[in-house]
Each structure stands twice: as C-alpha cells, then as structure tokens.
Amino acid sequence: MEKIRTILRSYGITPVEIEPITSRLYRITDHSNQCYALKKSSLSKESIRKWESVFHIANSNKLLNVIPVYLTRQGSLYETVNEEVFYVTPWLENRKEAITIEKLYRSIGYIHGSTKKKQTISSRSFISSFNRYQKYCETNRNSLLTCVEQFEQKKYMSPFELLVCTHYHVLERVFVTIQRRIEQLISELEDEETWSISLCHGNLSYDHVVNDNQTYLINWEKTFFDNPILDLATFFKEEVIHYDAPIESFIEHFGQYTDENKLQNSELYLLSIYLLDPTTYMDYIRSYQDSSNLSMVQQIKRIQHVFRQMVFALKFSDYVESEYESISLDDLES
C-alpha cells in the first residue's frame, strides 16, 4: 500500500483507510471522512492527451454529467508511477435503482449536443465505401443460406446448427433491411457536405454510469471525437445481448436522447446499419465450421447474444421508420 500512499500524497490526501474494490480501483477515506476513488488507468502515452481533453472540454462547456477529476499539487490530472497512470475522482455511492435509460439518454445526449462540431466530408468516398459494404453483405447473405442448406441436409444436426437454422428467417430479414438502409444512407450522403462529430465516451455502458443525486458518466479512458452514433451503437451492442435487457424501454425512450441531440436521417440510417451488421454472427458460424476450441455451450451462448442484437436492430430500424422518416422504406422500391 506504500505506492498508493505515495500517489495520494501528490494530491495532498492523507488516508485513514484504503479499501481495494478491484485490482484497479481503491476507495480512499481521509481524516475528515471524505471519500475518493483512486483509479489505476489503462491510459497510454497516445490516449492520455485525449483523456485530458475531456475534462478541459467538460469545464469549458459546463458538462456536469462528466465526473470531475482532482488535480495533483502540481496541477496535473494524473500521477504516473513506474509508467502506470493513476487519477483520483470523488467517490460516488451508486444508486443503481436510480439509473434509468431516460437519464442516461439525456446525459449522453447533452454531452454529444453541447460538443457537436461540423466537419467537411468527401461524400464520394463515403458512398464508395458503402457500395463495397453492400456487396459484402450480399456475399454474407449467400454464405448463410449455403450454411443453412448444408446443416439441414444432415440427419442429426448439432445444437449449434439447429439454432442457426431457427435463426435464419430473422437473419434473412436483417440482410434485406440492411440493404435498404444502405440505399437510404447513400441517397442522403449524395446531398451532404458536412458530418457531425462530438465528444464520445468510447465505452458507453451501464457499468460506466453512476447516480449519486445526479447522473455521472465515468471512465473516459477510451474517449474520442467522432459521430455520436458510435457511442449509441456501442451502448446498444453491450446491453441488448442479455436475455432480460429492457429493449422496449431502450426504443420507447430514445426520443429523450434526440431531444438533447437531434440526429439527421443519415445518422439514424448509419446507426441502424451498425446494429444490423452481420459480421460477428457470420464469424461465429465460420469459427464453428473451422472446429472452434470453444465448447458447444460457449458457441451457442455467444451466437445467441449476437442474435439478440439482431432482433433489437430490426426493432430499432422499424422504430426509425415509424418515428423519424418522412418517406417509407417501401417508397425506395417504387
């Protein structure tokens, strides 16, 4: 614990109790009974400047949902010991029952909206990339059909093969929907010359949301500036894989986010495409065919997780169509 005490001295903190919470997190209590969180970060020399910028941006934009970080006596946001980076924040007593999707949407939406900037884009380059992606998706669609046909020819299918066959009708709809969404996105991009970028958390999940009379987003170590739908895609992919995920609530309250940060149709289409992306599902099938070292149970579990994401993606895409589009998807075919 001497290393921890040395780090705390650089902050002027004299601990009376040092409680390890995880291998990277300590709860510190001082003589006045004030509590701090000491975090051993995973920051590198390359990422530390981006991380520091979060708190400068939060200060200048009054982003109260970004958890504050204490300064050392030397005015630094972190302390380095043996090339390991540590930082100190207030210790927040997390009231998980108080964390709602509405609060999370409003918090991250406000951060995205308050830090939004426009940058010029090459629409031709974007369109070319998505034309290639369309072909990639069609190739995967054909590959899945081939796999299902091969599985169905077997007298006895394995549990994994049976599961893939039962998933097929949903995945077929995924492939149809993603092609339509790509067409919509390309149509929108033809008329766009700018693209929005915002401060993104980079690892958004319920694990990084704390409520202590106010909602805070913690652990900004993977932060970056890019389109905010990347944060939303990360969050959904992390959360909807669980069997008890409140996916209806995620969709029902999505307007709480767009009230804080209005999204263009092109961004909604791109978010749908990220969620519908079949890459991981197809990778798991190929891994199975290549005699994966994972057990049958492990393989079933992980492909079922991705399938839940696909189901959510279709529901979210339907929601976008009903709530945000002025033109029906079917109009594209007429």
Q: How many CA atoms lie within 13 A of 306 on its CB side?
A: 21
Percent helix, percent strand, percent coil in the chain, to nearest 5: 55, 15, 30
What is the C-alpha separation between 155 and 157, in angstroms, rounded?
A: 7
Please report the pLDDT score of residue 1 as a whole number.
80
Of 305, 241, 312, 313, the closest CA to residue 276 belongs to: 313
Residues 6+ apart with CB under 8 A from 252: none
Please report the pLDDT score of residue 98 as a whole number.
67
For residue 327, is pLDDT > 70?
no
302 and 187 both lie in a single domain: yes
Domain hosting 218: range is 101-333
What is the C-alpha separation between 275 and 273, in angstroms, rounded?
A: 5
Residue 52 lies in a domain: no
Tally the domains of the chain: 2
For residue 109, is pLDDT > 50?
yes
Residue 140 lies in a domain: yes
Please report the pLDDT score of residue 93 as a whole number.
84
Q: pLDDT digit string (tens) for 157-186?
A: 999 999 999 999 999 999 999 999 999 999
Give the confidence band of 326 by pLDDT, cuts at 50, 70, 90: low
Quick count: other Cβ atoms within 10 Å of Cβ 141?
19
Give the confidence band of 36 by pLDDT, cuts at 50, 70, 90: very high
Q: pLDDT digit string (tens) for 281-310?
A: 999 999 999 988 999 999 999 999 999 999
**Could you tell me what percent of the chain has a pLDDT over 70?**
97
Q: pLDDT digit string (tens) for 142-153?
A: 999 999 999 999
Q: pLDDT digit string (tens) for 1-30?
A: 889 999 999 999 999 999 999 999 999 999
166 and 313 both lie in a single domain: yes
Q: What is the DSSP letter of 330?
A: G
Give the confidence band of 328 by pLDDT, cuts at 50, 70, 90: very low
**The domain that contains 15 carries what CATH number?**
3.30.200.20
- Single pTM value for the model: 0.91
113 and 200 both lie in a single domain: yes
280 and 299 both lie in a single domain: yes
Residue that is last in its domain, among 91, 125, 158 = 91
12 and 147 both lie in a single domain: no
Q: What is the DSSP letter of 68?
A: P
142 and 287 both lie in a single domain: yes
Tokens of 334: 């007429």
For residue 316, is pLDDT > 90?
yes
Residue 219 lies in a domain: yes
Residue 57 lies in a domain: no
Q: pLDDT digit string (tens) for 42-94?
A: 999 889 999 999 999 999 999 999 999 999 999 999 999 988 999 999 999 87
188 and 150 both lie in a single domain: yes
What mean pLDDT value characterizes the chain?
Answer: 93
Residue 50 lies in a domain: no
For residue 192, is pLDDT > 90?
no
Of 304, 265, 224, the closest CA to residue 57 belongs to: 224
Residues 6+ apart with CB under 8 A from 89: 36, 37, 39, 67, 68, 69, 70, 218
Q: How many CA atoms lie within 13 A of 282 on its CB side?
A: 19
134 and 223 both lie in a single domain: yes
186 and 307 both lie in a single domain: yes
In sequence order, the β-bridge partners of residue 28 are 18, 36
Residue 18 lies in a domain: yes
Of 8, 319, 310, 11, the closest CA to residue 173 belongs to: 310
Task: Note whether 246 and 72 are within 8 A (CB).
Answer: no
Residues 6+ apart with CB under 8 A from 16: 29, 30, 31
Residue 77 lies in a domain: yes
Residue 233 lies in a domain: yes
Give me the mean pLDDT over the 95-124 stretch. Answer: 90
249 and 162 both lie in a single domain: yes
Please report the pLDDT score of residue 170 as a whole number.
98
3-state SS string for 178-221: HHHHHHHHHHHHCCCCEEEEEEECCCCCHHHEEECCCEEECCCC
Q: Which helix (H) or strand (E) holds 303?
A: helix 296-323
Please report the pLDDT score of residue 45 as a whole number.
83
Please report the pLDDT score of residue 270 as a whole number.
97
**Could you tell me what percent of the chain has a pLDDT over 90?**
86
**The domain that contains 305 carries what CATH number?**
3.90.1200.10
For residue 334, is pLDDT > 70?
no
Give me the mean pLDDT over the 236-244 stretch. Answer: 95
What is the C-alpha separation between 101 and 126, in angstroms, rounded?
A: 32
Please report the pLDDT score of residue 99 as a whole number.
78
34 and 171 both lie in a single domain: no
110 and 134 both lie in a single domain: yes
What is the C-alpha separation between 158 and 162, in angstroms, rounded?
A: 6
